[in-house]
Structure formats: C-alpha cells, structure tokens
C-alpha cells in the first residue's frame, strides 16, 4: 500500500513538473528532484540572495548520478523566479547558486566546497551518508525503500536560511558540524 501510494504521489508531482517518463515507475532521482522542488517551498532565502532577473540557480556539482533527472526542474517556478539547472565545477560560480547539489563523487572535496560558500545563502543538498553531519543542509537517505531526508539546522542557520517548522517536523534533525 505504501509503495503504490508513493508511486501515485510521484505521478502527481510529475503532473506538475511534466516528467518525461511519468507513468513508468519513477526513478529514485525523479523523486529526489521532486523533493528538492518541494523543499524549496519551505525554505526562505534572505532578500540579498535574489538572483539576477528572476533566475534561481540549481547547481549540480560533481558526477551527476541522476542521469539528467534534475533537468525536469528547468524553468519551473520557485516563488517569483524560475529554476535554472546548471552544472558547475568548483569555481567561484558556486556563490551564485540558490540550491547546490553536491554529488557523492565530491565527498573528498566536501570540506573545501562548503568553505567556498561559507556564509552565503546557498541551500546545499546531498544524498551521501554522512554529508549532513559534515555541514550539508539537506541530505537524502533511504529508509524502508523510501526516500527520506535529514536536515542540519545549524548549517541552515549559518547560511542564513529559515526552514519551516513543518518541514523540520518531517526530517531527521542532525546537529553538529565542522567548526
């Protein structure tokens, strides 16, 4: 019953995002893309982080494990702006991101990456065991074959992002971080 329900949920989401393979079983990353899209609704960015001309960047860093699933978000609305999905390397452009997805391949570099955006209102997202403990704000994990997420409240606070209590209620809260 839970599986069927999960599937239908993603189908509903795909109706919003118009995914390519809506009626096939949604892939793990399609679910994660949908989660990012929805999580963003519960996060408040400070005014300074307003992107240039209505563009909100969703940056993908590292080897993309999604197989392009995140592209589905391209142009979808986020508040008054629209998502712009971009691939980034480790350059200065990271500061321009509103959401930064850090792939598992960057595990070794994670400390450096986070230092680069220290203090910037960037919602860091990952799906690698232990990321949250190291200072990534939202980290996906699997439980009973379902996608769940953990939130590092301290990291969010440092980045100047306010996360809705309704979202926090659903997440596993991780405290502690570097420094």
Partner 1 sequence: MNLTESFRDAPIGRKLILIGLLTTALALFSVSIILVARGWVDWRGKTVSEMESYAALIGANAAPSMIFADYDAAAEVLQTVVGNSDIVDAVLYDREGKVFARYRAPMHPEGNMPLVESDSYLFTFDQLVVTKPVMLKGEVWGTVYLESDLRGLYADIRRQALLTFITAAGVFLVTLFLFSRLQRAIVEPVVNLSGVMRQVSSKRDYAVRVPVHGKDEVGVLAGAFNDMLAQIQARDEALARHSEHLEQEVAQRTAELRENNRLLEHELVERKRAEETMARLRYELAMVLESAGEGICTMDANGNHVMVNPSAARMFGYEAEEMVGRDSHSLWHYAKADGSPYPEEECPVYATTRDGVVRRSEGEVFWRKGGTSFPVEYVCTPIQSNGAITGTVVIFRDITERRRAEAERRRLSEAVAQSMEAIVLTNTERSIIYVNPSFMRLFGYSAQEVVGQSIDLLTVEDGIYLNPHQTTEIALAQGAYSGETMRRGKDGRAILVLLNVAIVRDEHNEISGYVGTMTDLTELKHAEMEARQRMVELTHANAELRELNAKLAQAQIQLMQSEKMASIGMLAAGVAHEINNPIGYIHSNLGALGNYIGNFIGVLDAYEKVEQSAPDRSALFAGVDELKEKVDIAYIRQDVKALLHESHEGVERVTKIVQDLKDFSRIETEEQWTPENVHHGIDSTLNVIWNELKYKCEVIKEYGELPDIDCLPSQLNQVFMNLLVNAAQSIETRGRITIRTGREGERVWVEVGDTGQGIPPENISHLFDPFFTTKPVGKGTGLGLSVSYNIVEKHHGKIEVHSEIGKGTTFRVWLPIRQIKESA
**DSSP letters for 32-44:** HHHHHHHHGGGEE
Q: Between 3 and 176, whose beta carbon lies closer to partner 1?
A: 3
- Closest by CA position to 7, among listed 20, 29, 23: 23
Cα–Cα distance measured from residue 119 to residue 112, given in angstroms and rounded to the nearest whole number: 14
Number of Cα atoms under 13 Å in the Cβ half of residue 51: 22
Binding of partner 1 by 142 (CB under 8 A): no
- What separation in angstroms does the CA of 145 have from each of 2, 101, 130, 141, 162? 10, 22, 19, 10, 29
Residue of 38, 74, 93, 175 interacting with partner 1 (CB under 8 A): 38
With binding defined as CB under 8 A, does residue 48 bind partner 1?
no
Question: Per-residue x/- mask for partner 1, residues 56 to 85, rule CB under 8 A?
Answer: ------------------------------
Q: Applying CB under 8 A, which of residues 105, 170, 173, 178 lies at the interface with partner 1? A: 170
According to CB under 8 A, which one of 14, 30, 33, 35 is a site residue for partner 1?
35
Taking the least distance from each CB to partner 1, the nearer of 101 and 149 is 149
C-beta of 9 vs 74, nearer to partner 1: 9
């Amino acid at each position: 019953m839970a599986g069927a329900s999960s599937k239908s949920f993603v189908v509903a989401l795909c109706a919003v995002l118009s995914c390519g393979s809506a009626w096939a079983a949604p892939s793990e990353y399609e679910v994660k893309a949908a989660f990012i899209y929805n999580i963003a609704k519960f996060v408040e960015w400070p005014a300074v982080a307003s992107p240039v001309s209505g563009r909100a960047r969703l940056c993908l860093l590292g080897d993309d494990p999604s197989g392009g699933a995140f592209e589905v978000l391209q142009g979808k609305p986020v508040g008054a702006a629209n998502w712009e999905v971009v691939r980034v390397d480790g350059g200065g452009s990271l500061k321009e991101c509103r959401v930064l997805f850090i792939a598992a391949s960057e595990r070794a570099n994670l400390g450096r990456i986070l230092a680069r955006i220290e203090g910037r209102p960037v919602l860091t997202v990952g799906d690698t065991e232990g990321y949250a403990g190291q200072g990534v704000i939202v980290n996906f994990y699997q439980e009973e074959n379902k996608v769940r997420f953990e939130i590092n409240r301290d990291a969010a606070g440092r980045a100047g992002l306010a996360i809705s209590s309704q979202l926090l209620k659903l997440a596993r809260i991780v405290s502690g971080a570097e420094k």
